[in-house]
Chain A
Amino acid sequence: MKRNLNKLWVAIVVLFLVQAGLQVRIFPIWVRDYAPKQTAPVGLSPDQLLAAVAGFREFLAAILWVRADSFFDSGNYDAVLPMLRLVTWLDPHNLDVYSTGAWHMGYNFTDESQRSDRRYIPLALKFLEEGIQNNPAVWDLYFEMGWMYYHKIQDPVNAVPWMQIANEYPNMIPARRHMLAHTLFKAGRFDDAVDHWAKLFLDAEKDRGKDWESSNLYDVRQKNLEDTILDLLRRYGPNPETQPPIDLGFDATVKVVRPRVLLVEGKLGIPTIGARVTVILRDKGKTLRYSPKALKTFTLEVDPKLTYMQDSLAVREEKFRREIDMSKDPKMYPFKAEEYEVEFIFEPRYASPNIQDRIGSDGVGMYDARYLEEVREKPDPVDVPEYAKISDALRREVENPTRETSYYRVRKVITLTRADILMLGKRGE
């Protein structure tokens, strides 16, 4: 009997070691594929917390997401943000929440004149980064990050690495692969853009006759490849239309017409319609850092003391003019700093194709005696998650970027004081 008992004790020890070994093996896979990732149940009421612990995490997340949708529909945007935090805590693998949430932060907080509150963009980037860390084996959020840089921030150089990562996933939607070529082109990497179109075209050729969708994809890629080559030939070929450079005669002025209301006007010698000048007003010496690394962790708060306004002004008959009213949105434009910079920028990368045909996609066909400057850029290093399914070569490239591109732009900066903008002492505030 005692011998049997000893055997049982030995069995217990052996089984304990085996289960411990199994647990040690299971844990990393669990962390990678199944872990909820967030552990701080911030903002959940006790009953919600109980439901989450009792196995209703995803259900509760779905209910909260439906609720967030109703807040969104009623225009209560501020209420949506804490919902995003809760939903992604409960269900960190719901890609819709990350992509919709980032879009919401990046695009929907606007002033009375529909200008975005760009202080939310770093939050959106951080939110997407968190989504990527939680879902590294899925292409969608890398693409969303790239799109945020490409479209909202209009920074194609930093969009490229994210689009490249998304593009390495074999299950990416075929039409979305086109964005990498567009991004490379805008980033000034013309050879890479042509190469990518050519690769996509050859891929589409294999399935050309399979069905209508495949034939359509083939046609689209063929047209884009041809257009890109023709654009480059027109702009940089043997007899480039971009030469001799056009004198922009750029200038801009700012006048405070009422407290917190600016009249901006100026001239830009582009002899065709469609050009746009970007105007930015911000605290002097402070720029918004459009990077997920700008924030240590995701937060729902923006800097309440920072004033940052950005608008896009249409140029007609070589002139631009607009009254910018910031008086109705004191939360968005708090004007707490003593000095402000008003920056006027015209850059060719996002200009319409007819303008790019004349001045080049990178501005080689434009000239300005006072405000022309060359911008040299390379992408910020990307923290690629450990489990991202990309090649080692791309991982090295995006983690330590070396490829530099350049373009020309015109830029003028005017400094104003707080007293100027608020018209202090002049029947102002």
Chain B
Amino acid sequence: MNATLAIAGATFGEAVRKRILMVILLVALLIILISPAFEPFAGGRGARTLILGFGFGVVQLAGTFIAIILCTSMIPTEIERRTIYTILSKPVQRYQFVLGKFVGAVGTLGFMYLMMGIVLMIASRMALGEFDPDILRGLIMFFFQSSLLAAVVLFFSTFVSPLVNYFLSGGVFLLGNLLSSFLESIQRDPEVTPLTRVPVQLLTVILPNFANFNVQNPIMNPEQVLTDPTAYTVQTLAYAVVYIALLLIASMLIFNQREM
């Protein structure tokens, strides 16, 4: 456990020193901070959608980039620099190494989400004159979405090169965001045959479903009545935790078999 935490701490320290991640964070913070400037373009109800839509969009995009950039190079860099031999020569198991890396990445994401969340809250308070606690729910869901993406990237990084990983993870993220919408639309279309529907249904169950975490729409449209937002949040977070655990175990298994 100590070894895992030590690796996590080192990963976190290394990540916050990475200039590219800090630049992404800084740009995101600045953009969110200027979002109240949109207020005059659309009064009242429109301003809420404009400002929160922009804020959530920036947070989600920054979170996605940070997760992919951070995790793509985490393990390959250690192998490339040969620092992994130093680490693994100590009483550190390979699974502890993978777990530590992931915990460090999630810690970094948590720190960045905290920063962006605080700025988004300040910006929305400035522009809309109210603090909406639902914004917090949206941010938590995005944080778990990014954490799941980090697990996907880490999983791929155990057996593909960083360049391939960028495209692979990006593709899975895109697909995981669109599959549910696609399935929903073909389920509504009576002309779609089971031959088309069943493979999509299977893919929706197999691939990580990132669309589950996109809950920003009802936050921007508060008139919308949700069935049971708490139950939905709990189930979705449980889904994220289970899928992350699944990916981490798979990563550990693959990394364990890998020749160094």
Contacts and interface: CB of A to CB of B under 8 A. Distances in A.
B211 interface: yes
A91 B224 contact: no
Interface in A260-315: none
A15 interface: yes
A418 interface: no
Contacts of A15: 242-243, 245-246, 249
Contacts of B252: 8
Interface string A59-83: 1111101100100000000000000
Given A26-B236, A95-B221, A35 B184 contact: yes
Given A26-B212, A65-B46, A93-B218, A18 B53 contact: no
A19 B46 contact: no
B49 A94 contact: yes
A11 B249 contact: yes
A33 B233 CA distance: 12
B239 A59 contact: no
A32 B224 CA distance: 11
Interface in A94-153: 94-96, 135, 137-138, 140
A55 B57 contact: yes
Given A12-B246, A33-B232, A137-B224, A23 B253 contact: no
Contact of B249 (A8, A33, A60, A137): A8
A54 B61 CA distance: 6
Nearest to A169: B225
A138 B225 contact: yes
B181 A35 contact: yes
B196 interface: no
27 contacts: A5-B253, A11-B249, A15-B245, A15-B249, A22-B235, A22-B242, A26-B235, A27-B180, A27-B183, A32-B227, A33-B218, A33-B226, A39-B182, A39-B184, A54-B60, A56-B53, A58-B56, A59-B49, A59-B53, A60-B53, A61-B49, A63-B41, A63-B50, A65-B42, A91-B53, A138-B224, A389-B225
A16 B231 CA distance: 21
A387 B228 CA distance: 13
Interface string B209-253: 101101111101101111111011001101100110110011011
B232 A39 contact: no
Contact of A95 (B50, B178, B223, B245): B223
A16 B236 CA distance: 15
B185 interface: yes
A83 to B, nearest CB: 13
B60 to A, nearest CB: 4
Contact of B221 (A9, A35, A36, A91): A91
A69 B42 CA distance: 9
B46 A66 contact: yes
A137 B53 CA distance: 22
B204 A34 contact: no
A139 to B, nearest CB: 9
Given A8-B253, A62-B53, A66-B46, A23 B41 contact: no
B35 to A, nearest CB: 9
A375 interface: no
Contact of A24 (B177, B205, B242): B205
A23 B239 contact: yes
A32 B252 CA distance: 37
A94 B238 CA distance: 29
Given A23-B239, A33-B232, A65-B46, A56 B57 contact: yes
B109 interface: no
A32 B226 CA distance: 8
Nearest to B213: A34
Given A24-B205, A30-B180, A94-B221, A16 B232 contact: no
A55 B61 CA distance: 7
Given A30-B180, A93-B217, A137-B224, A57 B45 contact: no
Interface string A164-206: 0000000000000000000000000000000000000000000
Contact of B212 (A30, A91, A94): A30
Contact of A37 (B184, B212, B238, B249): B184
In the A-B complex, the 6 residue pairs with the smallest Cβ-Cβ separation, listed nearest first, are A59-B53, A58-B53, A56-B57, A55-B60, A137-B225, A15-B246
Query: Number of contact residues on B: which range applies?
Result: 35 or more
Contact of A66 (B50, B54, B238): B50
Contacts of A61: 49, 53
Contact of B223 (A16, A53, A63, A138): A138
B11 to A, nearest CB: 23
Given A11-B249, A66-B42, A59 B50 contact: yes
A32 to B, nearest CB: 6
Given A65-B42, A94-B49, A22 B232 contact: no
B223 to A, nearest CB: 6
A20 interface: yes
B181 A39 contact: yes
A56 B49 CA distance: 11
B211 A30 contact: yes
B94 to A, nearest CB: 12
B52 interface: yes
A29 interface: yes
Residue with the highest number of chain B CB atoms closer than 10 Å, among A5, A9, A57: A57
Contacts of A42: none
Contacts of B16: none
A31 interface: yes
Contacts of B211: 30, 34
A19 B239 contact: yes
Given A23-B212, A137-B224, A387-B227, 8 more contacts: A8-B253, A30-B232, A39-B185, A55-B56, A57-B57, A93-B221, A94-B221, A140-B223
A35 B185 CA distance: 10
A25 interface: yes
B180 A18 contact: no
B174 interface: yes
Contacts of B217: 34, 36, 57-58, 91, 93
Nearest to B229: A33
Interface string B167-186: 00000001001101111110
